[in-house]
A and B are shown apart, each in its own frame.
Chain A
Amino acid sequence: AQSVTQLDSQVPVFEEAPVELRCNYSSSVSVYLFWYVQYPNQGLQLLLKYLSGSTLVKGINGFEAEFKKSETSFHLTKPSAHMSDAAEYFCAVSGPPGNTGKLIFGQGTTLQVKP
């Protein structure tokens, strides 16, 4: 069975400070990895994804994530936080490739951006 652990339920940062949201996964098969963002009272928006190839993936709004298979991690980073980045962030895993595409989500991390 697959699982996702987001190590922090809340991450407070100051505006313009770097951001790191941590995600670890567990799976016995090859995986696809995703980060979604949920703004208040809105749906889930795809931020970035790792399917194959380069382990450093870039997404929207200046976010990027690095797939580290040896550490089973897929941490989300951004060099400089903006107030508009305040939201809930979900890490998710699916796989193996060719499966139904079902996503398993982590508990979510609330990014709080302080002025």
Chain B
Amino acid sequence: EPEVTQTPSHQVTQMGQEVILRCVPISNHLYFYWYRQILGQKVEFLVSFYNNEISEKSEIFDDQFSVERPDGSNFTLKIRSTKLEDSAMYFCASSEVADTIYFGEGSWLTVV
């Protein structure tokens, strides 16, 4: 069964460093998303991406965040200058027609 894959599964970074989280969405999907889950809290929407541009973003997704689809298969989330409060599980997700969304296993980011 096709699945969304994410790398790395866990990353520890120092405050102020740049981080790139990578995702390979399901191959025939056209809509891509990033969500995050701070430990013990609910899953929060960050951004959606369609047709090579951001279609919607949340208030969390400020100027330190960016997304990119550098080629036909990868979808990345970049955090320019990480803060302690960016520590969370980051989920990549994709959807064929923006109704049913499938999630990856997540990337744990720990900022120290």
Contact = CB atoms under 8 A, between A and B. Distances in A.
Contact of B98 (A90, A92, A99, A104): A99
Nearest to A49: B100
Interface stretch (A16-24, A39-47, A77-85): A39-47
A103 interface: yes
B44 A105 contact: yes
A107 interface: yes
A1 to B, nearest CB: 12
Contact of A46 (B91, B102, B104): B102
A44 B55 CA distance: 23
Given A44-B103, A46-B102, A51-B99, A103 B91 contact: no
Given A43-B105, A44-B43, A100 B99 contact: no
Interface residues of A, number: 25
A46 B99 CA distance: 12
Contacts of A98: 98
B96 to A, nearest CB: 10
A109 to B, nearest CB: 11
Nearest to A90: B43
B105 A102 contact: no
A-B complex: 8 closest residue pairs judged by Cβ atoms: A101-B98, A43-B105, A44-B103, A100-B48, A105-B43, A100-B56, A100-B55, A107-B42
21 contacts: A34-B101, A36-B103, A42-B106, A46-B100, A49-B99, A49-B100, A94-B101, A99-B98, A100-B48, A101-B31, A101-B48, A101-B101, A102-B33, A102-B56, A103-B33, A103-B43, A103-B45, A105-B42, A105-B43, A107-B41, A108-B42
Interface of B: 31, 33, 35, 41-45, 48, 50, 55-56, 91, 95, 98-106
